[in-house]
Amino acid sequence: MNRFTVITAFILIFFALTWTESLPDAVAQAQNNQAYYPAAGDSWQRKTPAAVGMDHTLLDQAIEFAKSHETKRPRDYSDQVEIFGRPLGPLPKERGGTNGIIIRHGFIVAEFGDTSRVEPTYSAAKSFISTLLGLAIDRGYIKDVHDPMRNYIHDGGYDSPHNAKITWHHHAQQTSEWEGELFGKSHTFLGVEEFGRGKREPRALQEPGSYYEYNDVRINRMSLSLLRIWKKPLPQVLKEEVMNRIGASNTWQYHAYDNSEVVVDGKKMKSVSGGTRWGGGLWINTRDEARFGYLFLRRGKWGNQQIISEKWVKMATTPGEHGPDYGYLWWLNTKRKQWPDAPATSFAAIGFGSNTIWIDPEHDLVVVWRWHDDRSANEFYKRIIAAIK
C-alpha cells in the first residue's frame, strides 16, 4: 500500500466517522421538517397502533395497567393542608380520575379517561416557567442564563451579599439557595402550620450554585423575577408566546395566590407560582399538556415556526452538577434512575398527584398521564415501549 493510498484511507475513515456521529441529529432534523402538527382545537388526527408501528394488544394492556393505578389522593383535595400547610390560593372542589393520552409520530394512538378536564398540574408547571425563561433569553431580555439576577432585578430580593451571587442558572436548577420570605412563606420550610408534612429541619445555607433543594418559595421568587423581566403577567406571556402558537385550547387557567399582587412599572399584576403546593397554579387539560410536550419532542418547533430555540431545549434538558437527574426544571433520565426501563434521553414535567408529561425522543413518543401512582410510571412507559414493533 503506497503513501497516497494510506492518506486517502485515513481521510475516508475520518469523514465516515464524522458523518456517523452527526447522523442522529440529521435524522431528528429531517423528522422535524416532515412531522405532522395538529391544527388548533380538537382536530388532532388519530391513527391506529398498527399505522404507527405499535401492537394493538400490547398497547391496550398498557392502558389497562394505567387505569388500574390511579393515585390514592382523595378526590376532594382534603389532604392538601396536611401535606403542604396553609394554602395561599384556590383549589377546585374535586379532581377527576386518572386519564392519559399517547402520541406517536405526532398522532393520537390511544386516549383514556377525561382528557378535556381542566385540573391543577402541580409542579409540572415548573417546566412551563422554565420555558418562559428560555424565551426571555431567546428574545435578548436576558443576555445569559449565567448572569446574576441582581443585574436585572432591583426589588430588594437580590441585594444581600448572599443573594447577590444567585444567577438565573441557579434558580432554574434549584441550586439558588435564595434566602428570604415571599408571599408569607419562608425559604426555610420550617413549621407544620405553614408547610405541613413538607416541613424541613433547620440547616445552614450553602453557597449559591453548590447545593440542590427542591424549594417552591425559591421557584416563586424566580417566577416573580421573570414577571419583572417580561413586564406583563406570565399567563399572558405563556398564552401569546406558546399556547396560542401551538393551537392549545382557551380552557387552561393560571391562578395566582390571593396575596401575590405586586407592582411592575407602576402597574398592579399578579405573580404566579411554580406549582399548586399552596393552591393556585396552572390548571390545564391533558390534551393541552400533550401539545406542550410535543413542542419539546420537536425541539421547540411547531410547523414552520421555531417557538423556542433548539438551543434552549438542549440546555433545559442537560443535567446539572448537583442533586438528582435534573435540568432547568425538567426531570431527566440520563442515569436511568428515574425510569430504568426507558431511554436515557427521555425527560418529563412532573407534578404531585402524579401529573406527568413524559417525552421519549428515541421512540418519538409523548405520554401524558394524570392522577397516577407515581411508582407505576416506569412500568407504564416500559409497556408502551414494548408495544412498539
Q: Per residue in 54-105, pLDDT tens?
A: 999 999 999 999 999 999 999 999 999 999 999 999 999 999 999 999 999 9
Same domain? For 260 and 167 the reply is: yes
How confident is the model over 233-284, as pLDDT tens digits? 999 999 999 999 999 999 999 999 999 999 999 999 999 999 999 999 999 9
Q: Give the count of beta carbons closer than 10 Å to the beta carbon of residue 136.
A: 20
Same domain? For 202 and 260 the reply is: yes
CA-angle at 126, arms to 123 and 132, nearest 5°: 155
- Is pLDDT of 15 > 80? no
Domain of residue 318, CATH code: 3.40.710
Residue 275, all three cell numbers: 406549582
Same domain? For 148 and 255 the reply is: yes
81 in any annotated domain: yes
Same domain? For 307 and 377 the reply is: yes
Number of domains in the chain: 2
Which residues does residue 272 pair with via DSSP β-bridges, in sequence order?
Answer: 256
Same domain? For 119 and 168 the reply is: no
Same domain? For 118 and 30 the reply is: yes
Backbone angles phi and psi of 349, in degrees to 5: -95, 125
Q: How confident is the model at residue 25 (pLDDT cuts 50, 70, 90)?
A: very low
Residue-wise DSSP of 46-115 = B--TGGGTB-HHHHHHHHHHHHT-B--S-TT-TTHHHHH-S--S---S-----EEEEEETTEEEEEES-T
Q: How far apart are alpha carbons 332 and 344 in whole angstroms? A: 8
How confident is the model over 336-380, as pLDDT tens digits? 999 999 999 999 999 999 999 999 999 999 999 999 998 999 999
Q: Give the count of beta carbons closer than 10 Å to the beta carbon of residue 252.
A: 20
- Residue 33: the pLDDT is 59
% of residues, the chain, pLDDT over 70: 92
How confident is the model over 109-150, as pLDDT tens digits? 999 999 999 999 999 999 999 999 999 999 999 999 999 999
Domain boundary among 240, 272, 304: 272
**Interhelix angle for 125-138 vs 216-230, to 10°?**
40
Backbone angles phi and psi of 54, in degrees to 5: -130, 150
136 in any annotated domain: no
- Residue 32: the pLDDT is 54
Same domain? For 263 and 293 the reply is: no
CA-angle at 29, arms to 23 and 33, nearest 5°: 145
Q: How far apart are alpha carbons 273 and 378 in whole angstroms? A: 28
373 in any annotated domain: yes
- Residue 308: the pLDDT is 98
Same domain? For 116 and 60 the reply is: yes
CA-angle at 310, arms to 306 and 315, nearest 5°: 145
225 in any annotated domain: yes
Element (H, E) at 33: helix 3-34
Same domain? For 178 and 300 the reply is: no
Residue ranges making up the domain that contains 199: 141-272
- State the alpha helices, DSSP H only, in 192-285: 192-195, 216-230, 234-238
Domain boundary among 228, 254, 272: 272
37 in any annotated domain: yes
Decide: 104 and 365 in contact? Cβ < 8 Å.
yes
- Does pTM top 0.85 for this prediction? yes
How confident is the model over 192-242, as pLDDT tens digits? 999 999 999 999 999 999 999 999 999 999 999 999 999 999 999 999 999
- Is pLDDT of 7 > 50? no
- Is pLDDT of 106 > 70? yes
Question: How far, CA to CA in Å, does 88 sit from each of 70, 171, 222?
Answer: 27, 22, 18
